[in-house]
Structure 1
């Protein structure tokens, strides 16, 4: 055994991780490999699309009428309409589109064209389908219950609603961008019907506008007539109240009230003057009475300021004051008379002021009431005149209503159907076939969990592939060596030679002498590969020993006639000599040491020092020793034997062994510090490679199969 086999592995196996990046080159290669499936899907899709377009699809004829919204309307008379025209903004245009699609307008269309009697729109007039869901459900119910299911007949309104829904689905209204133009399109199975529906709907839409305006005007006229009558009664009542008020009150006017106010002001001015005069007279009288009591004649004459009294004072003799006193008394009486007269005048003026105030207050209230009644009458008159004028204008407008739209072009009867569009259907079928085919190829590729090419095997495991062995076309295992001998230039024989070369050159410093062959699970071709490699090495005039290391299955008996022969266990136990147990197989041209059935666990046998010593002895006798071991995932034998060999060949069955099984098997060797020399992709199917699109990758062997 070489020390290199016990060294730590060169790398660690990790499960493949999905990359976030997409390799476009690999994606294109994958699609190219699946070109047959893609072409088949395209062909099937085109056939189905062609059958639908040319045989199955019902021709549909499309016809369009063009309606334009009138943004400017001619005014016959300069009167304000009850309903104004459309503004022409985007919201109004969108609203008109929905008006054309409204169920009320479509119902008029259905009734005018009698579409209730058309089977294309009325499902009740169509013959029942054999495989309709409703019919199948009724039949199932009848089978379960054993009684016939009563078929519910739809009401007349339900049938009408169903026809309206069908008509709406066949009609489309489009507003041409940046314009006031609507395109009303109808698509039916009859060319004339399509044109009739489009033209009729356009006419009904325009007539609907006129009818709506006429109805609105008529309703406004009725309302205005009733309102004018009410306003006339209100006006007459208001005028009568004014007349009645005028007849029950004195004649008043704003001018007269202003005169009364002016007169009141003058009276108040006179009252203030009278009060001042009274104050002056009272003060004079008080002054005269005061001077009379204490003053001298000269002082009295000065205060009295009376010419006669002054003259009497000049001629008056001493002691003779009779004339003076008489005159002063007259002056004092006159002062008292002035006070009395002022009092009388003040009283009279105050009474006059009260009278004038009452008169002004009364007339002001009457004037306010009169003005209020007059304003109410005037307001009623204005409202009445406005409504009367509006009634007359509305009555005149009933005969001059105009639609807000007009038909720009009538729908014409189409010459050819608008659908099915056969070239488009075929093109879409081809695209759909491409997509489906590509999806099938990619899904199959992404779902693939096995190995088909050496590059993939190397990329996923990190180990190099030493050989690619095609499936040997031998029905029985005994014919394998005969096939390789009879056809030395076959693809299988050449693959074995390539494997031999790769194994021997895997370590130039220490060429391997003991080679172990194993796999993940049974049935991967490792035994056939071991026998073929032994035969190939023996033909190089090398002394080769083939050891059967699978003591559980012992399938060498299916390849060679070796019944009732001693084998490895007898040699290791010392029951027989190696020379008596070894078998010289002529077809193999090498020595063969078979396995024997034993009650001891084979892994324990291979773990003994006796087995190691046996291999060391065989190393001296033979040029090469090939050991065929059990699968590594089934039993631990391969990992135990792997500690004693120079090179391990790990066999992977083409398109069969899962990636997880391979990775777990390789990881099992690494867990015991055993290095695998390389991998072998075995039992490759040439036809399978071509089917998967890898024919170019396996083209080196195709010529041998052809020959």
Structure 2
């Protein structure tokens, strides 16, 4: 058997009392178990949303462009010697400052430029390879600067090692760039450390600079000569002119042949027109536009006209229709013939113009070939001067590189340790990380949706809603009686069947006795917020519970707009309150013999007073003082009067009835009525100076009873009674 709630503590009582007198906002304090209940309750709402969000994010992240990472490692020399000669530069790493300086050099724009400039065309194609499939038709691949990806140098803690990590869309490209960064960093050190003040190096650099300027001047003169005379190079220009002459000659011949063909065709047409011949016999005209199709249609129509002429006269509608169609087709053929002749003449005019332009271009090319012959002597002289100056510059530059390299090799503080290798798989998208992120996001969205809905949903769901927010005692919880037929729900206690439902009503009976401060006889009003919350069922079974314990109980059906009690006890509704009121409303000395009242004994110690019909405006009876006198008179014959009233959210009858009764029991169904409405109606009932015994929570499943209340041992009831049986 379920155990009723224990009396509230002093702090809880003070909190409830504060709720009775004002409307201050109540802050709900939930435990971990409360949040677990919220998640279970909204599982099938929050779970689809969480799955949709997590799967969408996971899918979006999985569609990221695959990126590959390769790492090359450099090792710096360990400082082992003390340098005392001021003229010798020591470049070994001796502090974090030196190491950080080299790291900054690795990330500098200068080194990145050196890397991009060192790439060969074949290497650039490797880097461009991943971008080709995404390019739009006719679009150019990204430039070299956009193919380098990202590079991140990182010093290994407590060592003289630096890892150079490069990410790129191509695995070979990532390894290539990582190794190239190492190579160009060493080249930078070779060019910028030690031995730069010696005379040989300075002389070679000075001489190299002079030769570079001479080479540039010679090359500049050659380029100016080329621009002045519009030359690429002499040999190339001569080849270009020769090729141009051949091309123009072939094109000119083709244009001349086309002109001759068009002249012959036009002459044929003119002769045909002068002789009055049929132009459709000429192949060009027959193949033009839709003439062939129209010619076929015309033949078909003429054939059809011949067939119709055998049956009809010329004025027959079908003959007229066919003749009109023949005229239309013939007119279209004539229009197309005229259009074809116009197009032919236009082509002839264009061919003549093209031939004239090619003749002019051929003459210009011949003049250009003669001019190149005159320029060849001076051009070759300038080209030889530029070649000699360039060779001198390259020779002195090679000598300078040899001297500088041999001088600095012993001073380079770094050497490659491990070359970068192409990665076997992309590091992004990281499926494992995506799965973890999606799961975490899904759990977060699941909890946020479930808890968010709990703050939005204001319907009664738990014992806290009743005792904490509404500020009333929880008299008991009635389980969902879906397995019980409707004809038996209102007589569960009377049937003497051992079931969870009957035990729940007996638990409510015990709670009512504990909460009540009045002795018998007394009257109790049972009401609710909206229809369908089980108010009438609880009234019947609560009255039966008192009757089973020896109390003489009367149930009054005061829901005169929609009376239901007589149906549950299988009685008619011709007698009762309305009939008694219409008969004069005299207080009977013996109510059991009053025919207008028609008290019916429905069980041992249990009597029913029906509504006696229906009324659209029962307030005339309920506001009449005789109704209160009648209730008081019935206390002389009964220990307890249970008044079943209409729901307060529908009509105001319950407020009128509450003024005539001693105590009130409020019924609310799980997940049906809103807390703020119940709180408002209970406040109105308390203003009528009645004692509110508490609230009965109805319609919870066994699992929800375990989750939402302190009735945790509800499930053990069936097992306990089953073991006895």
- Normalising TM by the smaller chain, what interval? 0.5 to 0.7
Partner SS for 1:204: helix
Corresponding position of 2:637 = 621
Name the residue aligned to 2:35: 30
Aligned pairs (5 A) from 1:468-507: 468-473=477-482, 477-481=486-490, 485-486=494-495, 488-507=497-516
Residue 642 of structure 1 corresponds to 658
Partner Cα separation in structure 2 for residue 673 and residue 433 of structure 1: 52
Q: How do residues 246-645 of structure 1 correspond to structure 2 at under 5 angstroms?
A: 399-400=403-404, 402=408, 406-413=414-421, 419=427, 431-432=440-441, 434-473=443-482, 477-481=486-490, 485-486=494-495, 488-508=497-517, 510-511=519-520, 513-556=522-565, 559-575=568-584, 579-580=594-595, 581-584=597-600, 586=602, 589-594=606-611, 596-598=613-615, 601-645=617-661
Q: Does 1:669 align with 2:676?
A: no
Q: Could you give the per-residue CA deviations for residues 593-642 of structure 1, whole angstroms, max 9, x where no partner exists?
A: 2253335x433432221101111111112222111112223332222211
Deviation digits for residues 176-196 of structure 1 (CA, Å, limit 9, x no counterpart): 568875421135687665433
TM-score (norm 1): 0.57
Q: Could you tell me which residue of structure 2 aligns to residue 64 of structure 1?
A: 71
Q: Could you tell me which residue of structure 1 aligns to residue 149 of structure 2?
A: 168
**Equivalents in 2 of 1:17, 1:164: separation in Å?**
63
Query: Within 2, Cα distance between the matches of 1:595 and 1:109?
Result: 106
Structure 2: state its 5+ residue gaps: 1-16, 215-395
Provide closer, same or farther for how the CA distance between residues 547 and 102 of structure 1 changes in structure 2, counting only shifts above 3 A. Answer: farther
Q: Using the TM superposition, name which of 197-206 and 106-115 deviates more.
A: 106-115
1:677 counterpart SS class: strand
For residue 680 of structure 1, what is the aligned residue in structure 2? 696
CA distance, structure 2, for counterparts of residue 423 and residue 636 of structure 1 = 63
Contact 2:599 2:610 in 1 (8 A): yes
- 2:115 touches 2:180 (CA, 8 Å); kept in 1? no
Shift of 1:167: 4.2
Shift of residue 473 of structure 1? 2.1
Deviation at 1:546, TM superposition (A): 1.4
Question: Where do residues 189-200 of structure 1 align in structure 2 (5 Å cutoff)?
Answer: 194-200=174-180
Of 14, 17, 33, the residue aligned with 2:26 is: 17
Structure 1 residues 671, 411: CA separation in 2 closer, same or farther (over 3 Å shift)?
Answer: farther
Secondary structure in structure 1 of the residue aligned to 2:108: helix
Counterpart CA distance in 1 for 2:537 and 2:18 is 28
Contact kept in structure 2, 1:652 and 1:680, CA below 8 Å: yes
- Equivalence for 1:704: 718
Between 1 and 2, higher relative CO (CA 8 Å, sep ≥ 6) is seen in 1
Q: Which has the larger radius of gyration?
A: 1
In structure 2, the CA distance between the partners of 1:167 and 1:9, relative to structure 1 (3 Å rule), is: closer
Paired residues in the alignment total 493
Q: 1:219 to 1:530 in 2, by over 3 A?
A: farther
Q: Distance in 2 between matches of 1:90 and 1:179?
A: 11
TM-superposed CA distance for 1:406, in Å, is 3.5
Tell me how far apart the structure 1 counterparts of residues 147 and 532 of structure 2 sit (CA, whole Å): 65
SS across alignment from 2:154: strand
Q: Quote the offset at 1:697 in angstroms.
A: 4.4
Q: Is the 8 A contact 1:519 1:631 kept in 2?
A: yes
Contact 1:568–1:595 (CA under 8 A) maintained in structure 2: yes
Q: Tell whether the 8 Å contact from 1:64 to 1:184 is kept in structure 2 after alignment.
A: yes
CA distance in 1, matches of 2:578, 2:177: 98
Q: Using the TM superposition, give the Cα deviation of residue 505 of structure 1 relative to its aligned residue in structure 2, in angstroms.
A: 3.1
Match of 1:201 in 2: 181
Post-superposition shift, 1:563?
4.4
Instruction: From the superposition, tell whether residues 185 and 538 of structure 1 become closer, same or farther in structure 2 (CA, over 3 Å).
Output: same
Contact 2:573 2:611 (C-alpha < 8 Å) held by counterparts: no
Please give the per-residue CA displacement for 1:46-73, whole angstroms capped at 9, x wherever unaligned: x989x99xx9999976431123678999
